[in-house]
Amino acid sequence: MEKKDLKKIYHNSPAGPIIFTVLLFLMPVFISSNYIFTIFIMIGFYALVCNGMTMLTGFAGQISLGQATFYGIGAYSSAIVTGTYGLSPWIGMIAGMILGALIALIVGIPTFRLKGHYLALATLGFGIIVYTSFKEMKDLTGGSNGFFGIPTINLFGFEFNNDLRYFYLVWVFVMIGLIFSRNIIHSRIGRALRSIEGSEVASDAVGVNIMNYKLQAFMLSAMFASLSGSLLAHYVTFINPELFGAMTSIYFLLMVIIGGSSSIWGSIVGAATYVLLGEILKQLVPMFLPSAGGEFEIMFFGILLVVTLIYMPNGLYPQFEKLFSKFKKKKEKVQPPLQVGGDRVASGGENQ
Amino acid sequence: MEVHSQVIQLLFSGLTIGSIYALIAIGFVIIYNVTGVLNLAQGEFAMFGALISISLINAGLPLWAAVIFSMLIVSVIGALFERTAIHPARKSSVPTLIIITIGCSIAFRGIAILIWGTQPQSLQPFTDNTPIKFLNAVLLPQSIWSIGIAILILFAMIYFFNKTFVGKALTACVVNPFAARLMGINPEKMSLLAISASAGLGALAGIVTSPISGASYDMGMMLGLKAFVAAVVGGLTNAPAAIAGAFVIGILESFTEGLWSSGAKDVVSFSMLLLILFIKPEGLFAKASGKRV
């Protein structure tokens, strides 16, 4: 009985995710446009980064303004390991993740000692330092000219050398990442993180090691970003420091906020919204303003971010969920999950 | 003798950069203290100030009128920013407010691209820019202008906060918003005033810097971040400390650029930010006792 109720609290129904996965992986059967694949591959890269950031922002209550740093560390690790030393891409990927986690640990330890929201400031500063290093360490990274000739990924001789194959590769990683973080969120660690987001003082008082959990969440988010960066490097085969500047970090934060950081599914919603809206704006705005050039679409993103935070602080994903549950309610009357929890608390005395 | 003159030269260019950071950092500190918001859109006000003044001058206005009008326009932009973005979210958490200012900052950049495009523009120096020889170093009059304006603003701020009624009301809101409200001061009005005044100051910084380093839609981010570093290094709760921090960062940057490499200056100033955050998060020059503007 108790387990059943817990399941209801966690929205544990696997139907939605399974339908989504099946539809996504069947998509290439119906559509075979490289443009669409490219868009979905980009969404996949961003969704991976946002997935890690959601754990950090939505569950540990910390914001990172330097996530592109780890994205870049992953990309450059892969580039150097495979391009310069000719080793396997998988080694590069793992090296990048380990390096990202280590750096997160080094930045995180002094930062989380401080009270308040210093992680935002520290990651902001750190991001710019690393970005400048990518530019200045010319022997290692190729400087502002970029790093050319990163090989494609292969798995037991199978080359991921076209958009269709890469689409599957990226989304398999995204799905593994989602299942991984879903399991973490539904575990003891996830509950501890949620309690930190709710109230640091209260969770400290009940014996949650705040510092450790925040550090773990930060390291995990760094590993996700690094993995995504490695995948990016092998996809585009050419990287330069501009891909990993402060603006990229801001875009990642924007995706997490717009998608909604209270659920890991928000990361996919946010990444998809960002990429699709960007593409639509690039097509639409020049029709009305022929002179528009450069990255004018950031205006709409900025406004969207502010409006989301003021009027929909939980992002877009809960809105989808509401729609979905309305649709469901018509079929069968389901009790709202939170009320189920409330009932149990109220009847706790009688049961004993 | 060579080294001596180079040191003086670097010191002057450091003071010039520092004075621009200082103008933006003052606004930063005022907003932080009155509203509790870390306004990461502060640099965009400088960008607006620079680009608007260039447009006004191209439209035929004299320099002084262009400066005054663009400061006024940017103050109005600041007021709009407060009313539409900060005010509705004033009860939100600190991270939310920080992200809102980031959102505004990128929206401002987008607006600037749509209006002025991506081409950098330039502004004529305020006065004839023949270099002046001073202690074996070469000084540009525009540098004297920027240092002079920063010092003037500093004294104006001291006068404003200590001698005028509105300034004292603002200080009261900083020290104790609750008591200020009991005394009939409206903190929300003060927040509007603080943000639009800081926007005007930011605009001035942008105008002063554009003859030196040009003006473009993306100048705001680095200026704002550096000013932010300066404010944190000096002390976020104290305007004179933030100004001192700005000069420290400016001089540090010019020496790094002159003696090492220009790429390293960002690394040095942001390392300084991390160092201060980890070792002395209240800032180098902040007094331990109470808050002060």
Helix/strand/coil for B139: strand
| Mean pLDDT of the A226-247 span | 91
- Measured CA to CA, the distance from residue B175 to residue A126 in angstroms comes to 32
| Mean pLDDT of the A220-246 span | 92
Handedness of CA B70, B72, B75, B76 (dihedral sign): negative
Angle at CA of residue B82, ends B49 and B293, nearest 5°? 80
pLDDT band (50, 70, 90) for residue A74: very high
Beta bridge partners of B133: B138
pLDDT higher than 80, residue A346: no
Go through B196-210 and write b for each residue having 16 or more CB atoms within 10 A of its CB, e for each that does not.
bbbbbbbbbbbbbbb
pLDDT higher than 80, residue A167: yes
Q: Is A351 among the domain residues?
A: no
Residue A56: CATH number of its domain? 1.10.3470
Per-residue pLDDT reduced to its tens digit, A11-27: 556 666 777 788 888 77
Q: Is B253 among the domain residues?
A: yes
pLDDT higher than 80, residue A244: yes
Could you tell me which of A214, A216, A244, A245 has the C-alpha nearest to residue A230? A244
| Mean pLDDT of the A77-100 span | 91
- Measured CA to CA, the distance from residue B114 to residue B104 in angstroms comes to 15
CB atoms within 10 A of CB A206: 8
Q: Is B287 among the domain residues?
A: no
Structure tokens at A84: 């310069």
**Containing structural domain, residue B134:** 2-279
How far from A351 is each of A2, A9, A162, A256, A345, CA to CA, in Å? 12, 20, 60, 41, 10
pLDDT band (50, 70, 90) for residue A260: confident
- Measured CA to CA, the distance from residue B282 to residue B269 in angstroms comes to 17
Handedness of CA A241, A247, A250, A256 (dihedral sign): negative
| Mean pLDDT of the A177-205 span | 84
Mutation target for B interface from A59, A254, A299, A308: give the one with most B CBs within 10 A. Answer: A299
So what's the pLDDT on residue B117?
83
> In total, how many domains does chain A have?
1
Q: Is A15 among the domain residues?
A: yes
Residues of B within 8 A of A122 (CB-CB) are 273-274, 277-278
- DSSP classification of residue B86: I
So what's the pLDDT on residue A292?
64
Could you tell me which of B117, B116, B88 has the C-alpha nearest to residue B103? B88
So what's the pLDDT on residue A331?
52
pLDDT higher than 80, residue A271: yes
Regions of chain B where pLDDT drops below 50: 289-293
Q: Would you call A63 and B261 a contact, using CB atoms and an 8 Å cutoff? A: no
How far from B183 is each of A189, B35, B90, CA to CA, in Å? 48, 18, 21
Chain A, window 194-253: residues with a beta carbon less than 8 angstroms from a chain B beta carbon:
246-247, 250, 253
pLDDT higher than 60, residue A339: no
Q: Is A197 among the domain residues?
A: yes
Structure tokens at B179: 């008591």
Could you tell me which of B11, B13, B16 has the C-alpha nearest to residue B147? B16
B117: CB partners within 8 A, 6+ apart: A291, A293, A294, B217
Tally the residues of chain B. 293
So what's the pLDDT on residue A115?
64
Could you tell me which of A244, A214, A256 has the C-alpha nearest to residue A73? A244
So what's the pLDDT on residue A23?
81
Residue with tokens 């450091």: B14
**Containing structural domain, residue A84:** 2-285+295-345
Q: Would you call B99 and A309 a contact, using CB atoms and an 8 Å cutoff? A: yes
Q: Is B284 among the domain residues?
A: no
CB distance B221 to B270 below 8 Å: no
> In total, how many domains does chain B have?
1
pLDDT higher than 70, residue A330: no
So what's the pLDDT on residue B72?
95
Per-residue pLDDT reduced to its tens digit, A295-324: 788 888 999 999 988 888 888 888 777 777
Beta bridge partners of B134: B137
Residue with tokens 């490499």: B261
Radius of gyration of chain A (CA): 21
CB atoms within 10 A of CB B28: 30
So what's the pLDDT on residue B183?
85
Q: Which long-range contacts (CB under 8 A, 24 or more apart) does B110-113 make?
A: B110/A295, B110/A296, B110/A297, B110/A298, B110/A299, B110/A300, B110/A301, B110/A302, B111/A299, B112/B44, B112/B47, B112/B48, B112/B51, B112/B217, B113/A292, B113/A293, B113/A294, B113/A295, B113/A296, B113/A298, B113/A299, B113/B217
Q: Judge whether B104 is closer than 8 Å to chain A, CB to CB.
A: yes
Q: Which range scores top for mean pLDDT: A5-14, A91-100, A331-340?
A: A91-100
pLDDT band (50, 70, 90) for residue A344: very low
| Identity of the amino acid at A183 | N
Go through B136-161 and write b for each residue having 16 or more CB atoms within 10 A of its CB, e for each that does not.
ebebbbbbbbbbebbeebbeebeebb
Per-residue pLDDT reduced to its tens digit, B48-102: 999 999 999 999 888 889 999 999 999 999 999 999 988 888 888 888 888 899 9
So what's the pLDDT on residue A10?
53
pLDDT band (50, 70, 90) for residue A72: very high
pLDDT band (50, 70, 90) for residue A160: confident
So what's the pLDDT on residue A6?
52
Residues of B within 8 A of A136 (CB-CB) are 261, 263-264, 267
Structure tokens at B127: 């006065």
Mutation target for A interface from B267, B279, B280, B282: give the one with most A CBs within 10 A. Answer: B267
So what's the pLDDT on residue A329?
60
- Measured CA to CA, the distance from residue A201 to residue A195 in angstroms comes to 10
pLDDT higher than 50, residue A103: yes
Residue B235: CATH number of its domain? 1.10.3470
CB distance B233 to B276 below 8 Å: yes
Percentage of chain A lying above the pLDDT 90 cut = 27
Alpha helix locations (H) across chain A?
2-9, 15-30, 34-54, 67-78, 89-113, 118-136, 138-141, 163-185, 188-198, 200-205, 210-236, 246-259, 265-288, 298-311, 317-331, 337-351
- DSSP classification of residue B115: H
Q: Judge whether B92 is closer than 8 Å to chain A, CB to CB.
A: yes
Q: Is B288 among the domain residues?
A: no
So what's the pLDDT on residue A5?
54
Q: Judge whether A18 is closer than 8 Å to chain B, CB to CB.
A: no
- Measured CA to CA, the distance from residue B266 to residue A17 in angstroms comes to 44
So what's the pLDDT on residue B30?
87
φ and ψ at A57, to 5 degrees?
-85, -50
Chain A, window 54-73: residues with a beta carbon less than 8 angstroms from a chain B beta carbon:
61-63, 65
Count of CB contacts below 8 A, A vs B?
136
Q: How far is CA A258 from the centre of its chain?
A: 12
Q: Judge whether B106 is closer than 8 Å to chain A, CB to CB.
A: yes
Query: Which of the two residues, A133 and A340, has the higher pLDDT score?
Result: A133
CB distance A16 to A141 below 8 Å: no
Q: Judge whether A300 is closer than 8 Å to chain B, CB to CB.
A: yes
Q: Is B244 among the domain residues?
A: yes
Angle at CA of residue B287, ends B25 and B17, nearest 5°? 25
Structure tokens at A260: 């909604």
Residue with tokens 């990461």: B40
Per-residue pLDDT reduced to its tens digit, A35-70: 888 999 999 999 999 999 988 888 887 888 889 999
| Mean pLDDT of the A322-335 span | 61
CB distance A165 to A171 below 8 Å: no
